Amino acid sequence: MEGSSEVGAHARGRGVLVVRNAQSGTAVVRADPAEVFATRLPEADVHELAEGEELDDVVAAAMASDRPPEVLGVYGGDGSVSRMAHLARRHDRPLLALPGGTFNHFARALGLTDVEAAIDALEAGSTVPVGVVDAIADDDEAVTVLNVVSVGAYPELIGERERRSSLGKWLGGVAATWAALRSTEPLTIVVGGKRARVWSVFVSVGRNDPERVATMQRQAAEASVLDVRIHHSRGSRVRALASLAFGKRTAAVLRAVGLFPRDADIERLVVRELELRVTPQPGRPSVFVHDGELEERDPGGFRLRCAVVPDALRVYALRV
């Protein structure tokens, strides 16, 4: 079902807080949105996140003010948007997702191709209910996931890339891939009482493309299930890294040259809840990723629980 708020209630940014993450999208050439904000959202409170400043603190201060915002907006990539989505749920506010990252997986799934499209939806008062996943590591607080949770090869690749961040995202990515090709190892998971050695696990929010292993981008606003892909470690490191291709053309090329994982090595589950016990090999990182955000755990491994929450969030988006 589609939702809506009063048309024009937040035109020109009335009652809207927009937090801008200036570090997002550094790998792409992107026009500065300042002029768009000044022209179309002149009444919004636009806050640029300073180095070391936490999004949670900015929102908490705004909500405690004499005129708390009625809409929580964020300009950034998937990591920033997922963190603001978590805060929007906490404060029962609609989310204005202004795509400003490298990939913008979540925004693209909702048809938000650019900042202007998101502001169009705000002016029209058009919101859609969006399902999310609550991910809980051990006994920590649940985090809101908009696209995917992953353990195994992909988090290790992200970790390698972050250690090479001084090279820039592109060169750092190349160096990280080369390092991963030499060092990635399978990990052990226990799910449903069954133990397995795997290269990776991807837990997608809602049903996803059946041809993919790395389900980086959700397919629709609606989400009532988890779509799980488990890549068993019966192939090489090259196949493990090839499985991370999320572009259809790239995956097609890898299949054509015989580098993509075999269908027999991929286990697919569609469930509402999933609990994993994750144990890396000695000396390997104990990590997971949600919406591109790397989380480190105790070296001995961790328990990861994921549960789908339908219609958990209201997001400004136009639907034809």
Q: Give the pLDDT confidence score for residue 1 in this predicted structure.
A: 38
In this prediction, residue 266 has a pLDDT band, given cuts at 50, 70 and 90, of very high
Superfamily of domain 3-124 in the CATH hierarchy:
Probable inorganic polyphosphate/atp-NAD kinase; domain 1 (3.40.50.10330)
Which uninterrupted H or E stretch holds 63? helix 55-63
Q: What pLDDT digit, counting tens, does each position of 20-77 carry?
A: 987 665 545 467 899 999 999 999 999 999 988 999 999 999 999 999 999 999 999 9
At 96, is the secondary structure helix, strand, or coil?
Answer: strand
Is 238 a residue whose pLDDT tops 90?
Answer: no
In this prediction, residue 314 has a pLDDT band, given cuts at 50, 70 and 90, of very high
The rounded distance, in Å, linking the Cα atoms of 138 and 88 is 24
Q: Which residue has the tokens 């196949």?
A: 239
For the domain made up of 144-311, the CATH class stated in words is mainly beta
Average pLDDT rounded to a whole number, residues 164-173: 59
The pLDDT mean for the chain works out to: 88
Q: What percent of the chain is modeled with pLDDT above 70?
A: 84
- Least confident among 57-66, 155-164, 226-235: 155-164
Please say whether the beta carbons of 267 and 232 come within 8 A: yes
Structure tokens at 213: 């292993």
Identical topology for domains 3-124 and 144-311: no
Q: Where are the beta strands (DSSP E) in the chain?
A: 3-4, 16-20, 45-48, 71-76, 95-99, 126-137, 143-145, 148-152, 187-191, 194-205, 226-232, 266-271, 273-279, 287-290, 293-296, 302-316
Break the chain into its structural domains and give their ranges.
3-124, 144-311
Angle at CA of residue 81, ends 80 and 85, nearest 5°:
120
Q: Give the pLDDT confidence score for residue 319 in this predicted structure.
A: 74
Among 156, 174, 172, 155, which Cα is nearest to 164's? 172
